[in-house]
Amino acid sequence: IEDGKVGEIAVWSVSMFNGYRNYPEKTEEVVKNGWYFTGDYGFKYNDEYFVIGRKKDIIIVAGKNIYPEDIENVVNHVEGVVPGRVIAFGEEDEKMGTEQVAIVAETKAETEEEKKQIRLAILKSGMSIDINIHKVYLVPSRWLIKSSAGKPSRKANKERLNSGNDPQVWSR
């Protein structure tokens, strides 16, 4: 693999597992020619490997691959956003036939004016890395659901947002 080229990470080992028990279709998805495809994207640089994101989390906007971590990193620095309590994900835009970028960010802001300023700052932070953020959801501290690893779960939080009108969610 040439340096800097992004691809899906695959591993092989003499002690590698044979597959998922009682789930042959799942095994077929991830094991190919003896290689286990992790579902992570990464690249090699100077004989070191770097993981940059999960394949299933990539947001595709008009054919452009966007890594949620890139957006989350800049939004985490926005004044008024609780650091480390941000998720980015794609929302299907059937009219446009593509995904659009959505952000959920925890904040301690209480007034509508404070929330408006934070939302504008989040939109600007996306523009600073050439990404158009389509929707911003601001939520109170401790609203985001965490995974077993202690990180905010994109899937669980997206489902929570889509489950109905939560009066704690403020969006544009």
pLDDT tens-digit series, residues 61-73: 988 989 999 999 9
Q: Which residue has the higher pLDDT, 16 or 81?
A: 81
Paired sense of beta strands 98-107 and 133-140, if any? parallel
- Alpha helix (H) residue ranges in 7-111: 24-30, 68-75
Provide the residue ranges of all domains of the chain, joining segments of one domain with +: 7-55, 58-171
Instruction: Provide the pLDDT confidence category of residue 169 given band limits of 50, 70 and 90.
Output: confident
> Looking at domain 58-171, which CATH architecture does it have?
2-Layer Sandwich (3.30)
What's the pLDDT band for 151 if we cut at 50, 70, 90? confident
Out of 113-117, 140-144, 167-171, pick the least confident.
167-171
Q: Record the pTM.
A: 0.79
Cα(67)–Cα(54) distance, rounded to whole angstroms? Answer: 8
Distance CA 15, CA 140 (A): 46
Residue 79 has pLDDT above 70, yes or no: yes
Helices 112-128 & 68-75, crossing angle to 10 degrees? Answer: 130
Q: How far apart are CA 131 and CA 153, in angstroms?
A: 22
User: Please, are residues 93 and 100 in contact by the beta-carbon 8 Å criterion?
Assistant: yes
| 7-55 shares its CATH topology with 58-171 | no
Q: Shortest CA distance to 67 belongs to which of 156, 154, 158?
A: 154
CATH annotation of 7-55 = 2.30.38.10
Check: CB of residue 102 under 8 Å from CB of residue 131: no
| Cα–chain center distance at 113 | 28
Amino acid at 149: A
